[in-house]
Structure 1
Amino acid sequence: MRTLPVLLLMLVVFTPQLHGQEVDAPQLPGQGDVRIIVDISGSMKANDPENLRQPAVRLLARLLPQGTEAGVWTFGQWVNMLVPHGAVDDEWRQNAVEKSREINSVALRTNLGAALDKASDPYLSGGDLSNTDFILLTDGKVDLSDDASVNAEERERILGPLLAGLVERGATLHTVALSEEADLEMLEALATGSGGLFSLASSADDLNRAFLQSLNAAVPQEQIPLNEEGFRVDEGVEEFTALIFWGEEETSATRSLALINPAGERFSKNSVADNMAWSAETGYDLMTVTGPVAGQWQIEGELGEGSRVTVVSDLRMVVSPVPTSFTADEPINLKVAFFEEDARIQNADFLDVIDVIVRLTASDGRSGSKTLSPEQPPEDGVYTDRIESLPAAGDYDIEVIADGTTFSRQFSAVTRFIAPEASIASPIDISEVEAPVADLPAETDPEAAPEPEAAGPEPVSSAPDVREKEAEATLLWIWGLGGGAGLLALVVGAWALLRRKKADPEDSGAERETLDDLEAEAEDADDDLPPVIEPEPEPEPEPEPEQAPEPEPELEPDVAVPELEPEPEPEPDFGLEDFDLSEFDDLPDSDETSPDDPEDDRKKRE
């Protein structure tokens, strides 16, 4: 296994080339523009009593990448630009941290439409919002007046012309509701209508994670994997920021956290190194280290849900944008590539030592994973896969993890799978279904059976013609059986009369006439039988056709069976062929190995 310095040296010798014409390959993201809009109406006193909006805004300010355009607005009855829109740097961050303390709950109204108007004013960016994401937080509904009709008219304007104008200019809206009393329908419509995320923070404690998800969708950042054993920093990392959320039962009084470097030195919020900044807030700790020592770092303390480590490095993993929702008709086309500064890496010696893994996690914690790395890395350096379906509708965390022993990166996003409406997914097996009585003859008597209709044009049907031929053969068999039975009855009757004649000679003349009549009637009956049927003493239940038809694929029957419940749809497999779904209790057992063993995944594909 080569070390990272050797790999970087090889990158210099073997200069990677870009495929500029491949428009669908991952591209380095452009400069982002994030505009944060915060509700300060009076109802926030009840829904955010500890005013956790302040540390949530500070979290965004500290995590925004250097050079990103950003601004903060607050609104109630009036709209205020709390932090001027501009390029993010140390000065901007410091100003945002200080101004966040002015966020309160004193406004009388909720003028959401005006807040969107002000934050999207054309003078801020010349009108182009194609690279702009809005993060909107509110706990209420449109409230401009005591007159309900005025509020309803403004709501229609927001969801109509205002939203349409923002989408036309390229904007994306991520909305966060801080209360069940908020206009959830409107907030979700704003998000889905613009391709953004909608989140409901059931309590103020969930606000930080909701903001973080929105920020991650707006400006994805380089991450490195974090677990209970810590995280590994490679020599290409210029800076890392560890965001560690509190555990479920932790409070400011019980919180205990330490950061340990590869040399074993221990740091805390009260004891930091010169190249380290530590911010302890309600709900999380944020530690930034510039020029970190390469090696294994450890976290001493509880890792709350959503904790992560972001890095600044010239060696980057880029993942194509993941949509906030998808369907089987519009799947996720996943593409992953690695960049050294501005050039995509195609060097096989570098890519060959990296395992690329995709992991999906449902909201209830079940997960499945797949290794994208083939035996031979892709020549163009682009790893691809397609996610078409998931076991059930709902929200899923999607992670892409690159592990090269001395080099690792991670990407995370949230997406929602929208399942199709219930429908019959496969043809009904009619082999176990009794045919309706109306489709069969009521009597076996040939006189009661209807004459077969003259052959006409063959109807257009998706069902095979074999059933029609079998029905015709069955009808002819019934006719033959009835005719044979009638003929047999006549013969038996004639035989009985002949015996009677021999027993009584005086009546022989009359019996002879009767016998002649019976024989004539038998001949007439034989002439009336269908010419294509020969009476058989032991007819087969279903006579074999002269030539067996070629097998045809089983198709959906043309006989409606309304009382049948549709067969359950086959369990999807995440749309990723080699997913290890053994942890999904609603799916068939899998014999695959753990998703954490990429080498075993490769052996399986062989």
Structure 2
Amino acid sequence: MPRFLTLVFLAALLLPTTLWAEETTKLTLPESPDIRIIVDISGSMKETDPNNLRQPAVRLLARVLPEGSTAGVWTFGQYVNMLVPHGEVNEGWRETAINRSGKINSVALRTNLGKAIETASDDYVTGGTLENTHFILLTDGKVDISDSDDVNRAEEKRIVSKVLEPLVARGATFHTVALSDQADAGFLKTLADKSKGSFRTADTAEALNLAFLGALNTAAPQEQIPIEGNAFTVDAGVKEFTALIFRGSAKTGEAAESAGLEMIGPDGKALAQSSAPDNVRWAREAAYDLVTITEPQSGEWRVKGALGEGSQVTVVSDLRMVVSQIPPTFTPESPINVRVGFFEKADRITSPEFLDVLSVKLSLMSEDGSSGSKTLSVDSSPEEGEYSDTISKLPAEGVYRIDIVADGKTFARKFTATTEFILPVGMIEPAIGAPIDISLAEQSGQALPPEPEPEIQPEPQSEPEPQPQPEPKTQPAPVKPADPAPAVEAEPVDEPSVESALPFPLWMIGAGAGALVVLALILILLMRNRRASPDAADAAGEDPESLEDLQQEMADIEAEVPVVMAEEEPAEEDIPTATAVVEPEEEIPELVEPVNEDDDEEFGLDEFELSEFDDLPSEHEPENEPDDKPKK
């Protein structure tokens, strides 16, 4: 009964924790993010950003930040200035940010990054909480607060330990963007890695816009609809859409102004910036057009003009596709668990009638253009309306773009994110095969495969059968990786295995010997007392000769006790070889488990359409390749 009550008590303690863990893992609508934009205006920007690309990049962020989020903009050099006050993102905030972006320049003397982070994260801005707070940091140089390199290095250490760590502990995430190769990429990447953020390098206007947009998509993912060619379909549930059309480096400046991009609605009418109606907001920059249409017509819309990389269409709708957070980096040991769910306003959609008509597809594209895709949706609707998959391993290290597209016949939704696949230091690709390198086995702490086990001789004093023996311990021979037997002999940690080979444990032998010693001592003391008082012996009627015989027997027992100890405790040089109790050979496959290239969890590559992964080994090529597969 007490045992039963204990189990009930433990179950009562663990049940709330289990329920809480399950509740926190459920896919929910994301909260409104808090975005802090920190921009470098040091004098070195005159060389690294002569065309002041920072101004249109900040205006881009101001225009595409989701409604209802909070944001602020700070500039820094030697001192820190609040360019745009922190507040809720609405039309008034956007207008302020766009107007004040013209004050971004390159006149400051120093690069006081630590002070900028401290100012932008001050408690007075948001009352102390930094949950779901993302810092987007743009700089072109290194920490520069003094002419002394030692002072600047000390300041970098202070930023990481005294400034960054407390902010990360409160929930802050840093997305760093280096505007040139002169930037301290290692330091900026440290800020991103320690806060589980992203790091990007941008040396052109197009790259800077994409870097800002990528950071924003990570911090505040927005609902998108896919673009097919130059067209996209707006469903009846869309209240507003924003089309961000990049021109790319081919058309910038005056050429871009004269390009005259147009939007063709479902009714066939063309919309242009010069003739936009009241429900259309049209902004044009040197690198992009941003068109927002409220209460748009449902149907197919087309873009008349070239679409550059990064073009996207975001929507405001009650029907939302929610994707779990995609980390900026992942490894085979720390994979990406992708989960996709759908919500109508704030309610999760679990109706089979809705889910059964969905086609959910996940695709990956590397920086060199190689790509692959797989379908997440199955024949039956998923449990709790959630599609899932795991990305654990990719063919090569590098940065990959993840696209998730859901097609519901009458509507479509899209999610985009960027992540980097990293192999841990020491991991070998492809997987290790036989023969296994013994040096690797020793480093992993696993037992080595033994030679054929010799029989342990029952008596240490007898000569063992002739067999190969290692050098004596006083002169150990060098252990070679190809010879497993000497390696086991040389490891002192294998000595306890001798105890397991004896008939009785050493502690039992020692306890028995100790008991004999105590018994002998008691008998000796009794005999000495009798010897000291012979009259007492006579009074008791004992025969003196019998006493002498008993004394002789006690002396014999006393002389025999040390002999028992010497025979029962094996000497160090008599310890037999420990190869007879080495761990079974079947435990060795644990060494290659992390790098098993046949692992079925390798992003489900067996189900992937790998015809477009042109850098994969030939054994992964699919048997059938559709002829109508679109080219990336």
Question: Normalization by structure 1: what TM-score?
Answer: 0.72
Structure 1 counterpart of 2:522: none
User: How is 1:120-139 mapped onto 2 (pairs within 5 angstroms)?
Assistant: 120-139=121-140
1:140 and 2:141 matched: yes
User: How is 1:135-174 mapped onto 2 (pairs within 5 angstroms)?
Assistant: 135-174=136-175
**2:249, 2:287 within 8 Å by CA — same for their partners in 1?**
no
User: How is 1:62-141 mapped onto 2 (pairs within 5 angstroms)?
Assistant: 62-141=63-142
| Distance (Å, rounded) in 1 between the aligned partners of 2:605 and 2:88 | 40
Structure 2 counterpart of 1:579: 608
**2:340, 2:386 within 8 Å by CA — same for their partners in 1?**
yes
Structure 2 counterpart of 1:511: none
User: How is 1:325-474 mapped onto 2 (pairs within 5 angstroms)?
Assistant: 325-420=329-424, 421-423=426-428, 425-428=431-434, 452-453=466-467
**2:391, 2:602 within 8 Å by CA — same for their partners in 1?**
no
1:378 Cα shift?
Answer: 1.0
The alignment-based identity, stated in percent, is 54
1:137 is paired with a residue whose SS is strand
Q: Write the deviation string for residues 541-560 of structure 1: whole angstroms up to 9, x where unpaired.
A: xxxxxxxxxxx9796799xx
1:379 Cα shift?
Answer: 3.2
Structure 2 counterpart of 1:514: none
| Distance (Å, rounded) in 2 between the aligned partners of 1:271 and 1:88 | 27
Q: Write the deviation string for residues 257-313 of structure 1: whole angstroms up to 9, x where unpaired.
A: 111000011112222122101100021110000000000000111110000000000
| Distance (Å, rounded) in 1 between the aligned partners of 2:344 and 2:629 | 27
1:592 Cα shift?
Answer: 4.6
Change in Cα spacing, 1:200 to 1:106, as seen in structure 2 (3 Å) is same
Change in Cα spacing, 1:568 to 1:384, as seen in structure 2 (3 Å) is closer
Structure 1 counterpart of 2:622: 590
Aligned with residue 324 of structure 2, among 306, 320, 323: 320
Q: Write the deviation string for residues 46-87 of structure 1: whole angstroms up to 9, x where unpaired.
A: 111111111100100011111101000000010000000000
Change in Cα spacing, 1:595 to 1:30, as seen in structure 2 (3 Å) is farther
Aligned with residue 292 of structure 1, among 284, 293, 296: 296
| Distance (Å, rounded) in 2 between the aligned partners of 1:20 and 1:234 | 37
| Distance (Å, rounded) in 1 between the aligned partners of 2:236 and 2:126 | 38
**92-101 or 222-231, which moves further after superposition?**
222-231
Structure 2 counterpart of 1:176: 177
1:27 and 2:33 matched: no
1:151 Cα shift?
Answer: 1.2
**2:338, 2:390 within 8 Å by CA — same for their partners in 1?**
yes
| Distance (Å, rounded) in 2 between the aligned partners of 1:168 and 1:241 | 35
Please tell me the residue identity of whatever aligns with 1:590. P
Structure 1 counterpart of 2:40: 39
Please tell me the residue identity of whatever aligns with 1:580. E
1:60 is paired with a residue whose SS is helix
| Distance (Å, rounded) in 2 between the aligned partners of 1:375 and 1:592 | 21
1:334 Cα shift?
Answer: 0.7
1:61 is paired with a residue whose SS is helix
Change in Cα spacing, 1:556 to 1:408, as seen in structure 2 (3 Å) is closer
1:150 Cα shift?
Answer: 1.7
Q: Write the deviation string for residues 451-482 of structure 1: whole angstroms up to 9, x where unpaired.
A: 75399xxxxxxx999xxxxxxxxxxxxxxxxx
1:181 is paired with a residue whose SS is coil
Structure 2 counterpart of 1:188: 189
1:96 is paired with a residue whose SS is helix
Aligned with residue 276 of structure 1, among 280, 290, 293: 280
**1:428, 1:556 within 8 Å by CA — same for their partners in 2?**
no
1:270 is paired with a residue whose SS is helix
Could you tell me which runs of 5 or more consecutive residues in structure 1 were left unpaired when the two chains were aligned.
Answer: 1-18, 431-438, 440-449, 456-462, 466-551, 559-566, 599-606
Please tell me the residue identity of whatever aligns with 2:164. L
1:380 is paired with a residue whose SS is helix
Q: Write the deviation string for residues 541-581 of structure 1: whole angstroms up to 9, x where unpaired.
A: xxxxxxxxxxx9796799xxxxxxxx996699534541111
Structure 2 counterpart of 1:198: 199
**159-168 or 116-125, which moves further after superposition?**
159-168
User: How is 1:210-225 mapped onto 2 (pairs within 5 angstroms)?
Assistant: 210-225=211-226
Aligned length: 464
Change in Cα spacing, 1:207 to 1:278, as seen in structure 2 (3 Å) is same
Structure 2 counterpart of 1:458: none
**1:339, 1:345 within 8 Å by CA — same for their partners in 2?**
yes
| Distance (Å, rounded) in 2 between the aligned partners of 1:250 and 1:376 | 47
| Distance (Å, rounded) in 2 between the aligned partners of 1:47 and 1:592 | 50
1:123 Cα shift?
Answer: 1.0
**2:77, 2:110 within 8 Å by CA — same for their partners in 1?**
yes
Structure 1 counterpart of 2:236: 235
Change in Cα spacing, 1:73 to 1:453, as seen in structure 2 (3 Å) is same
Please tell me the residue identity of whatever aligns with 2:360. V
**1:201, 1:207 within 8 Å by CA — same for their partners in 2?**
yes
1:298 is paired with a residue whose SS is strand
| Distance (Å, rounded) in 1 between the aligned partners of 2:615 and 2:157 | 42
Structure 2 counterpart of 1:564: none
**2:392, 2:602 within 8 Å by CA — same for their partners in 1?**
no
Structure 2 counterpart of 1:479: none
Please tell me the residue identity of whatever aligns with 1:352. D
Structure 2 counterpart of 1:522: none
| Distance (Å, rounded) in 2 between the aligned partners of 1:174 and 1:101 | 23
| Distance (Å, rounded) in 2 between the aligned partners of 1:286 and 1:384 | 33
| Distance (Å, rounded) in 1 between the aligned partners of 2:225 and 2:387 | 19
| Distance (Å, rounded) in 2 between the aligned partners of 1:555 and 1:56 | 55
Please tell me the residue identity of whatever aligns with 1:246. R
CA RMSD, 1 decimal: 3.0
Structure with the higher fraction of residues in helix conformation? 2
User: How is 1:527-542 mapped onto 2 (pairs within 5 angstroms)?
Assistant: none
1:203 Cα shift?
Answer: 2.4
2:612 is paired with a residue whose SS is coil
**1:37, 1:137 within 8 Å by CA — same for their partners in 2?**
yes
**352-361 or 246-255, which moves further after superposition?**
246-255
| Distance (Å, rounded) in 2 between the aligned partners of 1:115 and 1:126 | 18
Higher relative contact order (CA 8 A, sep 6+): 1
Change in Cα spacing, 1:464 to 1:106, as seen in structure 2 (3 Å) is closer
1:227 Cα shift?
Answer: 2.6
Q: Write the deviation string for residues 295-336 of structure 1: whole angstroms up to 9, x where unpaired.
A: 000011111000000000010000010111111111111110
Q: Write the deviation string for residues 312-364 of structure 1: whole angstroms up to 9, x where unpaired.
A: 00100000101111111111111100000000000111111110000111111
| Distance (Å, rounded) in 2 between the aligned partners of 1:32 and 1:590 | 42
1:330 is paired with a residue whose SS is coil
**1:52, 1:205 within 8 Å by CA — same for their partners in 2?**
no
**1:37, 1:136 within 8 Å by CA — same for their partners in 2?**
yes
1:339 is paired with a residue whose SS is strand
Change in Cα spacing, 1:417 to 1:295, as seen in structure 2 (3 Å) is same
**2:230, 2:307 within 8 Å by CA — same for their partners in 1?**
no
**1:52, 1:282 within 8 Å by CA — same for their partners in 2?**
no
Please tell me the residue identity of whatever aligns with 1:591. E
